[in-house]
Amino acid sequence: MGLSSDSTTATKTLWLSQWPSNHFSENSAKRRQVSCLQRIRNSKEQGQAQDHPRSRLRQLQRAHITRISGYSKKELVCELGVYFLSFDRAGYGDSDPNPKRDAKSEATDIEELADRLDIGLKFYVIGFSMGGYPAWSCLKYIPHRLAGAALVVPVINYWWPSFPANLSKRVYRNLLVQDQITFWIAHNAPSLLCGWMTQKWIPKLSVVEGHPHIFSGDDKEIRQKMAAYAEENGFLNKPRQQGVHESLHRDLMVGFGNWEFDPMNISNPFPDDEGSVHIWQGYDDRLIPVDLQRFLVKKLPWIQYHENPKGGHLFFWTKEWSDAILGSLLRGQMPTAT
């Protein structure tokens, strides 16, 4: 889960993808909720051996496919000396649910997992989509543990206070009505979310129902590849095997709920340029509004913003763009993907 800034040791990275979670499991009937390591049952390591990576990278994963760290070319991973650690977050995969989960608990879980697995003092974090909010949490609550961070098509909370009301309302009203209702319930009446998401009469969250409007042409092709990858590697049904309420529903309640902090008030965690923070966004992303992302990075000029002019929500799943994301974070190189 992260990266070591020492060039003689390996790079460790943690992926935070859309909606995940795991750990070790002895008996699912005996799951406990006392500590992070008891909740998060499964983790997956890839890349350089932990004993000698140059970078430790932790990934916070997607909701539908957990532990996806196979994006980048093996040649680049070897060149950078990357040690990947991906894990499923509370309520996903084999990980125990956490009914008290909030934005802060995501960061404390990550920090405890890093300590328990002896990852090292510093590591990189990459958060994809819904995994963006745990990445923001790391920037807020454990910046001293980060060597760098990349937020890739990170989720936007329409109720963050720093958004101008006219802008957030305009973007919000451009959403599909079923998504407006879902996000409103998640924010204002979370106790009703389970009922709304499980009813059969009215269309609910578009991404769950696979509404064709929310995916660009490239996204549709990538989704087919992702589904094939998930089935081939046994990930297809694993992420939500404990039920959608403890996984997806709680992610919606946290991601679109009332946060204890506003990301646009976060201070630069690397004032001496000893690390960097990146946001990657697709112009044609129909799930995460580009207008709000652009406003956010103007408020945080220390974030390096990269926009794919042709990209949808899933552009990062291609080798070229995953290499660009990894290279810019670990080598400081400007992206070359087109």
pLDDT, one tens digit per residue, over 295-316 is 999 999 999 999 999 899 988 8
- With bands split at pLDDT 50, 70 and 90, how would you rate the model's confidence at 336? low
pLDDT exceeds 50 at position 46 = no
Residue 187 has pLDDT above 90, yes or no: yes
Instruction: Report the pLDDT value the prediction gives residue 218, as an integer from 0 to 100.
Output: 83
What local confidence, expressed as pLDDT, does residue 61 receive?
41
Which of 14, 20, 15 has its CA nearest to residue 241? Answer: 20
At 176 the pLDDT is: 94
Neighbours of 48 (CB within 10 A): 22
User: Rounded to an integer, what is the distance from CA 175 to the centroid of its chain?
Assistant: 21
- Rounded mean pLDDT, 76-97: 69
Asked if pLDDT for residue 20 goes beyond 50, the answer is no
Decide if pLDDT at 219 tops 70: yes
| Sequence-separated (6 or more) residues with CB below 8 Å from residue 140 | 103, 104, 107, 261, 263, 266
Is 276 inside any structural domain?
yes
- The one-character DSSP state at 316 is G
Note the residue count of the chain. 338
Return phi, psi of residue 85, to 5°. -130, 115
Residue whose token pair is 């350089």: 48
Residue 53 pLDDT class (50, 70, 90 cuts): very low
Does residue 33 fall inside a structural domain?
yes
Task: Determine the average pLDDT of the residues in 101-113.
Answer: 88
Check pLDDT > 60 for residue 236: no
Q: Which pLDDT value is given to residue 223?
A: 78
Q: Has residue 33 got a pLDDT over 70?
A: no
Average pLDDT over residues 60-86: 55
Which of the residue ranges 50-64, 223-237, 241-255 would you say has the lowest mean pLDDT? 50-64
> Hey, what amino acid is at 61?
Q
pTM over 0.85? The answer is: no
pLDDT tens for each residue of 192-204: 999 999 899 999 8
pLDDT tier for residue 225 given thresholds of 50, 70 and 90? confident
Q: Report the pLDDT averaged over residues 263-278.
A: 95
Domain that holds residue 218: 11-330
Whether the pLDDT of residue 70 is over 80: the answer is no
Distance CA 105, CA 26 (A): 24
Residue 170, domain member (yes or no): yes
Please indicate, yes or no, if residue 3 is contained in any of the structural domains. Answer: no
Classify residue 105: in a domain, yes or no.
yes
3-state secondary structure of 150: strand
> Can you spell out the DSSP letters for 208-224?
HHT-GGGS-HHHHHHHH
Q: Is the pLDDT of residue 281 over 80?
A: yes
Inform me whether the pLDDT recorded for 163 exceeds 90: yes
Question: Given a cut of 80, is residue 79 above it in pLDDT?
Answer: no
- Which pLDDT value is given to residue 268? 97
Q: What is the Cα–Cα distance from 128 to 61, expressed in whole angstroms?
A: 6
Residue 321 CA to residue 336 CA, distance in Å, equals 8
Overall domain count for the chain: 1
CATH number of the domain encompassing residue 79: 3.40.50.1820
The CB-side HSE value for 236 (13 A sphere, CA atoms) comes to 10
Within-domain flag for 76: yes
Average of per-residue pLDDT values in the chain: 76
Query: Which run of H or of E encompasses 226?
Result: helix 217-232
Q: What is the pLDDT of residue 245?
A: 65
